[in-house]
Amino acid sequence: MAVDYTVIVVYLAGMLAMGWWGMRRARSKSEFLVAGRRLGPAMYSGTMAAIVLGGASTIGGVGLGYQYGLSGAWMVFTIGLGLLALSVFFSARIARLKVYTVSEMLDLRYGGRAGVISGVVMWAYTLMLAVTSTIAYATIFDVLFDMNRSVAIVLGGAIVVAYSTLGGMWSITLTDMVQFVVKTIGVLLLLLPIAVVKAGGFSAMKAKLPTSYFDPLGIGGETIFTYVLIYTFGMLIGQDIWQRVFTARGDRTARWGGTVAGTYCLAYALAGAVIGTAAKVLYPKLGSPDDAFATIVKDELPVGVRGLVLAAALAAVMSTSSGALIACATVANNDIWSRLRGAVRRDGDAHGEPHDEVRGNRVFILIMGIAVIGTAIALNNVVEALTVAYNLLVGGLLVPILGGLLWKRGTVQGALASVIVGGLAVIGLMAGYGILANEPVYYGLLASLAAYVAVSLATRPTDEAVLATWRERLAGRTPELASEPVPAPQ
Which of the residue ranges 62-66, 164-168, 244-248, 449-453 would you say has the lowest mean pLDDT? Answer: 164-168
Collapse the DSSP code of 148 into the 3-class scheme (helix H, G, I; strand E, B; otherwise coil) and give the result.
coil
Q: List, for residues 78-96, the tens digit of each pLDDT value.
A: 999 999 999 999 998 888 8
How high is the pLDDT of residue 114?
A: 66
- Average pLDDT (100-113) is 84
For the CA atoms of 131, 133, 137, 140, the dihedral, rounded to the nearest 10 degrees, stands at: 150
200 confidence band (pLDDT: 50, 70, 90): very high
How high is the pLDDT of residue 488?
A: 40
Supply φ then ψ for residue 410, to 5 degrees: -60, 140
Q: List, for residues 107-164, the tens digit of each pLDDT value.
A: 888 887 666 778 888 888 888 888 888 887 776 776 667 778 888 888 888 888 888 8
Task: Compute the distance between CA of residue 121 and CA of residue 425 in angstroms, rounded to an integer.
Answer: 13
Q: What is the pTM of this model?
A: 0.84
208 confidence band (pLDDT: 50, 70, 90): very high
Helices (H), 283-381: 292-300, 305-330, 338-340, 357-378
* pLDDT of 209 above 80: yes
Task: Compute the distance between CA of residue 242 and CA of residue 23 in angstroms, rounded to an integer.
Answer: 22
Residue 201, phi-psi category: left (phi > 0), alpha (psi -120 to 50), beta (remainder): left
Task: Compute the distance between CA of residue 422 and CA of residue 398 in angstroms, rounded to an integer.
Answer: 9
Are 67 and 276 in contact by the 8 Å Cβ rule? The answer is yes
**Domains in the chain, please, with CATH?**
1-338+358-379 (1.20.1730.10), 383-476 (no CATH)
Q: List, for residues 301-319, the tens digit of each pLDDT value.
A: 888 788 888 788 777 788 8
Q: Which residues pair with 248 in a beta bridge?
A: 39
Task: Compute the distance between CA of residue 289 and CA of residue 279 in angstroms, rounded to an integer.
Answer: 9
Q: List, for residues 374-432, the tens digit of each pLDDT value.
A: 988 887 666 677 778 888 888 889 999 999 988 999 999 999 999 999 999 999 999 99
Q: Which residues pair with 39 in a beta bridge?
A: 248
Q: Which of 27, 105, 25 is nearest to 334 (CA)?
A: 105
| Residue 478 DSSP one-character state | S
CA distances to 93, 94, 108, 178, 480 from 114, rounded to whole Å, are 20, 18, 9, 37, 21
Q: List, for residues 340-357, the tens digit of each pLDDT value.
A: 776 544 444 444 444 567
| Residue 72 DSSP one-character state | G
SS (H, E, C) 78-107: HHHHHHHHHHHHHHHHHHHCCCCCHHHHHH
Helix or strand holding residue 259 (H, E): helix 258-282
Handedness of CA 255, 261, 267, 268 (dihedral sign): negative
Across the chain, mean pLDDT equals 84
485 confidence band (pLDDT: 50, 70, 90): very low
